Structure 1
Amino acid sequence: MFALMHSTRLESLHLSIDPATGLKAVIAIHNSRLGPALGGCRYLAYPDDESAVADAARLAQGMSYKAALAGLPVGGGTAVIIRPVHVESRAALFEAFGRCIEKLDGRFITAIDSGTSVADMDCIAQHTRFVTSTTAAGDPAPHAAMGVFTGIRAAAMARLGSDNLEGLRVAVQGLGNVGYALAEQLHAAGAELLVSDIDHGKVQLAMEQLGAHPIANDALLSTPCDILAPCGVGAVFNRLSVGQLRCAAVAGAASAQLTNLDIADQLEGRGILYAPDYVINSGGLIYVALKHSGAELPGITAHLSNIGTRLTEIFAHAQAEKRSPARVADELAERLLYP
């Protein structure tokens, strides 16, 4: 466990249990140089406890980089609640987690993430003020999608010479809250949508409402398109899957898309522009961080537009240095975190 903390540069790792509710939780705080750690709370089943800890550590590191490059006064962290087989009271479980957060006395602020909902955040808020994405704060998903849309336009400009998305084929992998909201914005911009999701109902809805073309989950990565937008689970790209890609750029909402940084070099070698995931998907973090600090919506929306500007800067550096945008982004973030 200490080796994992060392390799990801975690500041601290907090493990909590509550036998009465079945709570088993991990809070990973990566870097608090720029402010208190802020990160989502995941509620997922894991094959073992070690996998949950590793997931929290990996995501916390990404949150630090994301916050730094987004220009936010917060650090990076992540919470993972291991979903039990049977839950007597979900509300009681999340209330117990709220008490765990409160004990950290503001060092960690949590928000909605995979497997959690606004209702879960409301339960956490019963016992701590260090939470956002509540009913009062609002769902960050539409703002996350807005940021990704801005990033896709920046990727299109850098790779295809225009940020006009009309007629471009965009493949959206995953139609969750962010993925579907992104698909709606792409449709409004005139893009041709190819979509996949394990939930056939969501695919059907996209077909009916957005004129999307359904693609089998195992075929989407190898389907020809202009831009591939992974918006589901992480670790989408490995040596095998990158070899199957038939797109000009990868720009999507999924976190931790690359299994390792060498995959970014493989994408670069194939001439596929990669939008670093923690840069393009920072819209949700921007919303929850600024909302928690009391910012009004116009200011938040203006900050979201900076995502495209930051990506354009990263793409320009990468092109000039003939390196992957992922490596450029990491270096820029590390200069801010470790001056």
Structure 2
Amino acid sequence: MKLSGPVVMDEFEQVVTREEPETGLRAIIAVHSTARGPALGGVRMWPYPGHAAALDDCLRLARAMTRKTAAAGLRLGGGKSVIIGDSATDKTTELLRAHGRFIQSLGGRYVPGIDVGTGAEEMRVIGTEAATVTCTEGDPSYLTALGAFAGITAAVEHVYGSADLSGRTAVVQGVGHVGHHLARLLTKASAAVLVTDVVRSRAETLAAEIGAGVLEPEEALATRCDVLAPCALGEVVNPATMPALRCEILAGVANNVLSQDDLATPLAARGITFVPDFILSAGGITFLDEQLRGGDERSAVPRVLEIGPRVGSILAEARAAAVTPLDAATALAEERLRLSGPTPIDRGTTR
């Protein structure tokens, strides 16, 4: 199963859509792989401009989840679901229950969690119709941030020869669910932290609390720093924005930080160390995997902290083989998928 390069439909085991005028549901579920277990992935609710944009986002996010779960060594696959709509105005109990029924129709192949536009309350409603749902009793964002912090520390050690963050400048772009936790962890490690968010008041409140500086959103990518951590929506690094980067390390938890995989090569040519987001952001899903096994946050923490050594190993392998960190990380995910053996293909579309 090839994970790198453009997203093509043949990579996916199943892609289904559903439209229900009576509930307002317009949704897509993409199951990328169940080779290692059921496909875990969040439910994103976003006012996409149309079906094509929603489908593209769903496919890219589902593929990223396969990379994430496989590289982390979890007995889970990768999937995603998206609901087309504004979570502030279009979200209703009837719509969420309809999405739960849609998920249940896949017979457990896809397991939902929280994402942009959904939280624990929404998962509980979806769970009234779907048999298996995660994130109903809390937000795994802190453990996502903890894993990212461990990975960033490993990247700093790889680049500078020391894991000490004292005096290192870190820009955290997006201080929502995960970003605010990461900013706090970096501050406690004595990094000089700059934060930004499209909701300026959110950035200002956090900055006042932790002693960080505040940037305008359009300044973040072009700010000279040791670490740039995109923690909001993905594809922030694209052909138009990449020339402005002034960071030494690009390491964020936003899904699909790069708009396309082939940007990893020019990043490396510029001397920017890219830590693939599907490696860095695996703390949350590791916690969910632990919950599915009957564990809790305490038992998940040691597994989450393994992200640090994993990042260090990937960066070392990339340097030794003269390949990009994305190539090395993708090879790790593909090898673990290969060892899992083939999985049956069941593609289709329902309405």
| 1:109 maps to which of 104, 108, 111 | 111
Q: What residue in structure 1 maps to residue 45 of structure 2? A: 43
Q: CA, structure 1 residues 8+56, in 2 after alignment: closer, same or farther (shift >3 Å)?
A: farther
Task: Find runs of 4+ consecutive structure 1 residues off by over 4 angstroms.
Answer: 84-89
Q: Cα distance, 1:86 vs. partner?
A: 8.9
Equivalent residue of 1:41, what SS? strand
Equivalent residue of 2:143, what SS? helix
What is the percentage of aligned positions where both structures have the same residue?
A: 37
Q: Is the 8 A contact 2:85 2:91 kept in 1?
A: no
Query: CA separation in 1, counterparts of 2:162 and 2:126?
Result: 44
Q: What residue in structure 1 maps to residue 255 of structure 2? A: 255
Q: Cα distance, 1:318 vs. partner?
A: 0.5
Equivalent residue of 1:73, what SS? coil
Q: Cα distance, 1:77 vs. partner?
A: 0.3
Q: How many residues align?
A: 334
Are 1:325 and 2:317 counterparts?
Answer: no
Deviates more, 1:319-328 or 1:79-88: 79-88
Query: CA separation in 1, counterparts of 2:295 and 2:323?
Result: 37
Q: CA, structure 1 residues 40+228, in 2 after alignment: closer, same or farther (shift >3 Å)?
A: same
| 2:76 maps to which of 71, 74, 77 | 74
Q: What residue in structure 2 maps to residue 164 of structure 1? A: 164
Aligned AA (1:235):
E
Q: What residue in structure 2 maps to residue 238 of structure 1? A: 238
Aligned AA (2:335):
R
Q: What residue in structure 2 maps to residue 203 of structure 1? A: 203
Query: CA separation in 1, counterparts of 2:18 and 2:86?
Result: 14
Q: Cα distance, 1:148 vs. partner?
A: 0.7
Aligned AA (1:248):
E
Q: Is the 8 A contact 2:45 2:87 kept in 1?
A: no
Query: CA separation in 1, counterparts of 2:88 and 2:120?
Result: 21
Q: Is the 8 A contact 1:21 1:87 kept in 2?
A: no
Q: Cα distance, 1:100 vs. partner?
A: 1.2
In the superposition, the TM-score normalised over structure 1's length comes to: 0.95
Q: Is the 8 A contact 1:8 1:58 kept in 2?
A: no
Query: CA separation in 2, counterparts of 1:196 and 1:237?
Result: 16
Query: CA separation in 1, counterparts of 2:61 and 2:41?
Result: 9
How do 1:131-146 and structure 2 match up within 5 A? 131-135=133-137, 138-146=138-146
Q: Cα distance, 1:88 vs. partner?
A: 6.5
Query: CA separation in 2, counterparts of 1:322 and 1:156?
Result: 19
Q: Deviations over 1:222-276 (max 9, x none)?
A: 1111111111110011233222111110111111011112211111001110100
Query: CA separation in 2, counterparts of 1:97 and 1:338?
Result: 32
Q: What residue in structure 2 maps to residue 64 of structure 1? A: 66
Q: What residue in structure 2 maps to residue 266 of structure 1? A: 266
Q: Cα distance, 1:8 vs. partner?
A: 6.3
Equivalent residue of 1:26, what SS? strand
Q: Is the 8 A contact 1:248 1:273 kept in 2?
A: yes
Q: Cα distance, 1:5 vs. partner?
A: 7.0
Q: Cα distance, 1:10 vs. partner?
A: 0.7
Q: Cα distance, 1:293 vs. partner?
A: 2.6
Q: Is the 8 A contact 1:8 1:57 kept in 2?
A: no
Q: CA, structure 1 residues 235+6, in 2 after alignment: closer, same or farther (shift >3 Å)?
A: closer
Q: Cα distance, 1:294 vs. partner?
A: 1.3
Query: CA separation in 2, counterparts of 1:6 and 1:240?
Result: 24
RMSD: 1.6
Equivalent residue of 1:279, what SS? helix
Query: CA separation in 2, counterparts of 1:322 and 1:197?
Result: 35
Q: Deviations over 1:159-214 (max 9, x none)?
A: 11111112211000011110011111111111111111110111111221011111
Q: What residue in structure 2 maps to residue 127 of structure 1? A: 129
| 1:25 maps to which of 24, 27, 33 | 27
Equivalent residue of 1:218, what SS? helix
Q: What residue in structure 2 maps to residue 191 of structure 1? A: 191
Q: CA, structure 1 residues 320+104, in 2 after alignment: closer, same or farther (shift >3 Å)?
A: same
Query: CA separation in 1, counterparts of 2:45 and 2:257?
Result: 19
Query: CA separation in 2, counterparts of 1:232 and 1:299?
Result: 28
Query: CA separation in 1, counterparts of 2:253 and 2:301?
Result: 18
Q: Is the 8 A contact 2:46 2:87 kept in 1?
A: no
- The structure with higher relative contact order (CA 8 Å, sep 6+) is 2
Q: Which consecutive residues of structure 1, in runs of 5 or more, have no partner in the other structure?
A: none
Q: Is the 8 A contact 1:5 1:11 kept in 2?
A: no
Q: What residue in structure 1 maps to residue 285 of structure 2? A: 285
Q: Is the 8 A contact 1:172 1:194 kept in 2?
A: yes
In the superposition, the TM-score normalised over structure 2's length comes to: 0.92
Query: CA separation in 2, counterparts of 1:89 and 1:331?
Result: 39
Deviates more, 1:5-14 or 1:324-333: 5-14
Query: CA separation in 2, counterparts of 1:249 and 1:108?
Result: 34
Query: CA separation in 1, counterparts of 2:88 and 2:161?
Result: 52
Q: Deviations over 1:35-82 (max 9, x none)?
A: 011101100010110111111111111100100011110000001011
Q: CA, structure 1 residues 207+303, in 2 after alignment: closer, same or farther (shift >3 Å)?
A: same
